[in-house]
């Protein structure tokens, strides 16, 4: 069972929370199939996307710094047919300081993992490293949120998004809810999920999401030697506009 605070300490709970999340799968599979060579997934987690790509014939190397996420990733991979499992390699590493084993046909930085960077320097560092990790004809595909003021104005103590779960390990019922607030000095959106068992025991998972403006992201990718090849505000190609709350981008070497 996970310990307080770290959102990636209990991979089973993480997967329950994200069950059914599939909106991005076709986008990344479509891109990854075009890569020339193995694809690198930054923050591969429990392998939700990794396994989807491998089932589509894509060879993937996934890196992640959270041991429990990788433990579950390995467990789920072992349940795949050997041909699919054989396309995946995973490694425990922090991609902000990783020494690559590439070059890779593409780098994917999916599912808002960019928000775990604490500021411009860290995003720039990852973008520069990714530029070195790919083949000359490679690309980087990523998605992240854009700041959503309507969320940040919420009452911090207000509880929302109530859900009931069953922990598959114990059969116990859990109720969860979400609370969030905005910290202007660090430009961080804090989201705390509280999980409560029927007997009153509770644990929490605290996501700290550093938010970036669209213009800042464009400046960072350019400074890191990338060119924006395609961008949209959702995974179906909806054009970017001032109301966009999501950024889905494909970058190629400048
Ligand atoms: C939102 S999850 C996405 C998991 C998976 N890519 C997916 O699409 O389902 C983000 C993952 O990024 C990992 N992560 C965050 N910062 C990282 C870092 N600096 N180095 C390696 N992994 C990181 C977390 O441990 C977590 O598993």
**Type and span of the H or E element at 155:** none
> Helix count (H) and strand count (E) of the chain?
8, 11
Best probe residue, ligand 1, of 99, 108, 113 (max atoms within 8 Å of C-beta):
113
pLDDT tens for residues 112-123?
Answer: 999 999 999 999
Length in residues, the chain: 254
Domain at 96, CATH number:
3.40.50.150
* CB distance 96 to 63 below 8 Å: no
Mean pLDDT of 207-214: 97
What one-character DSSP code corresponds to residue 2?
Answer: P
Do 164 and 124 lie in a common domain?
no
As a whole number, the mean pLDDT across the chain is 95
Do 161 and 241 lie in a common domain?
no
Which residue range is the domain that position 124 belongs to? Answer: 18-145+213-253
Residue nearest to atom 24 of ligand 1 (CA): 43
Residue nearest to atom 25 of ligand 1 (CA): 66
Q: What is the total count of domains within the chain?
A: 2
Do 130 and 231 lie in a common domain?
yes
Do 134 and 55 lie in a common domain?
yes
Residue 11 in domain: no
Distance (angstroms) between ligand 1 centre and the Cα of 45 equals: 5
Global confidence as pTM: 0.95
Q: What is the pLDDT of residue 64?
A: 98
Please state, in angstroms and rounded to a whole number, the distance separating the CA atoms of residues 229 and 81.
35
Banded model confidence at residue 4, pLDDT cuts 50, 70, 90: low
Residue nearest to atom 9 of ligand 1 (CA): 48
Residue 138 in domain: yes
pLDDT tens for residues 143-164?
Answer: 999 999 888 877 777 788 899 9
Do 117 and 179 lie in a common domain?
no
Residue 60 in domain: yes
Do 186 and 226 lie in a common domain?
no
Do 183 and 229 lie in a common domain?
no
Pocket of ligand 1 from Cβ distances under 6 Å: 8, 43-45, 48-49, 63-66, 69, 94-96, 110-113, 116
Do 128 and 158 lie in a common domain?
no
Residue nearest to atom 4 of ligand 1 (CA): 45
Do 111 and 99 lie in a common domain?
yes
Residues 6+ apart with CB under 8 A from 10: 1, 2, 3, 68, 205
Mean pLDDT of 1-24: 87
Residue 2 in domain: no
Residue 8 in domain: no
Residue 187 in domain: yes
Residue 9 in domain: no
Residue nearest to atom 16 of ligand 1 (CA): 116
Residue nearest to atom 27 of ligand 1 (CA): 45
Q: What is the pLDDT of residue 120?
A: 98
Residue 32 CB burial class (10 angstroms; 0-12, 13-18, ≥19): buried
* CB distance 74 to 85 below 8 Å: no
pLDDT tens for residues 73-129?
Answer: 999 999 999 999 999 999 999 999 998 877 999 999 999 999 999 999 999 999 999
Residue 90 in domain: yes
Do 196 and 129 lie in a common domain?
no
Distance (angstroms) between ligand 1 centre and the Cα of 199 equals: 32
Ligand 1, closest atom to CA 96?
19
Distance (angstroms) between ligand 1 centre and the Cα of 107 equals: 14
Do 103 and 227 lie in a common domain?
yes
Do 37 and 65 lie in a common domain?
yes
């Amino acid at each position: 069972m996970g310990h307080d605070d770290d959102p990636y300490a209990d991979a089973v709970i993480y997967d329950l929370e994200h069950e059914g999340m599939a909106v991005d799968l076709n986008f990344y599979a479509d891109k990854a199939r075009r890569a020339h060579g193995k694809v690198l997934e930054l923050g591969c987690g429990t392998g939700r996307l990794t396994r989807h790509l491998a089932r589509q014939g894509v060879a993937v190397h996934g890196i992640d710094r959270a041991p429990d996420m990788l433990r579950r990733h390995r467990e789920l991979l072992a349940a795949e047919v050997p041909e699919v499992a054989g396309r995946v390699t995973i490694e425990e590493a922090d991609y902000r300081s990783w020494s690559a084993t590439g070059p890779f046909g593409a780098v994917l930085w999916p599912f808002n993992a960019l928000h775990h960077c604490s500021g411009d320097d860290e995003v720039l560092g990852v973008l520069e490293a990714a530029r070195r990790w790919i083949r000359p004809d490679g690309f980087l595909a990523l998605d992240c949120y854009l700041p959503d003021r309507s969320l940040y104005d919420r009452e911090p103590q207000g509880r929302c998004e109530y859900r009931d779960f069953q922990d598959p390990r114990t059969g116990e019922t859990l109720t969860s809810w979400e609370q969030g607030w905005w910290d202007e000095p660090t430009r961080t959106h804090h989201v705390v999920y509280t999980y409560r068992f029927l007997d009153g025991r509770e644990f929490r998972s605290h996501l700290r999401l550093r938010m970036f403006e669209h213009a800042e992201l464009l400046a960072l990718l350019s400074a890191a030697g990338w060119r924006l090849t395609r961008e949209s505000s959702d995974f179906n190609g909806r054009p970017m506009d001032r109301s966009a709350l999501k950024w889905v981008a494909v970058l190629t070497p400048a």
